[in-house]
Amino acid sequence: MSNQYSSIDHTSMPQTALVTGASRGIGRAIAEALAQKGYRLYLTCQHSEQELTKLSHHLSEISHTVCTPIIANMGDYREVSRVFAQISNLTLLVNNAGISHIGLLHEMSVEEWQTVMNVNLNSLFYTCRMAVPMMLQRHTGKIINISSVWGNIGASMEVAYSASKGGVNAFTKALAKELAPSNIQVNAIACGVIDTNMNRCFSPEELADLQAEIPSDRIGHPEEVAELLLSLVDAPSYLTGQIITLDGGWT
């Protein structure tokens, strides 16, 4: 019996990626790594237009690839639709956009809860709903979601964030099962403490206490997340539905 994918020349397909939340931190590191691999990039962020535009121009110049910066709130379906109106094909979707909220649950407003859920979880539904048909058409694709260890074990004072990332993990596992017959892999990276602006809310003393709890005795770097993501992009197609923890042995 012939291989069902034998008639498809994947190597001739343009490598195109959408990276959300790409202006800084983990998203920026991922964009830089993919540009070095020759990906045609669509990069989004909500607020940092100058940073995103500067990054896109820089990557286009040094990597000789095309980068399109798009300012959009990925937690708003209408804005996600506007993003995808500019994309004709997609081989890799990286859902990285995310926000945190630290505080007691009973002091959290309904609007704050909904904002966290929209950006961290609903955005995955919006992007995947539009990206999957493109991947189904070519019978290939990769979806990688950036999650958190708090989605695995939960964190006091971060109930909404933990719940949203737990949803990301369940979403990843379920969609992977749905798309596996179509040769589309869906995985997630559950990050521990990574040196990004999201952790600027902690004092130096608090960060030092966190670091002391980590067996690797250091905080992770965004470039390490990008390196792991590249390994998932190149992984065998049999690897799907996995939540891979990157936390220095912390949890």
pTM: 0.93
Structure confidence at residue 201 (pLDDT): 75
The count of C-alpha atoms lying within 13 angstroms of the C-alpha of 102, restricted to the half-sphere facing its C-beta, is 5
pLDDT, tens digit, 9 for 90 and up, residues 53-91: 999 999 999 999 999 999 999 999 999 999 999 999 999
With pLDDT > 70 as the criterion, what percentage of the chain qualifies?
95
Provide mean pLDDT across the span 183-194: 98
Q: Is the backbone of residue 222 left (phi > 0), alpha (psi -120 to 50) or beta?
A: alpha
Residue 198 has pLDDT above 90, yes or no: no
| pLDDT of 180 higher than 50 | yes
Distance CA 191, CA 232 (A): 14
Indicate if the pLDDT at residue 10 is higher than 50.
no
Which one from 5, 42, 161, 238 is the annotated catalytic residue?
161
Q: What does the pLDDT read at residue 12? A: 54
All domains of the chain in start order, with CATH:
14-245 (3.40.50.720)
Report the range of poorest mean pLDDT among 107-121, 134-148, 172-186, 204-218.
204-218
Per-residue pLDDT at 13? 62
238 is catalytic: no
Residue that wins the pLDDT comparison between 38 and 14: 38
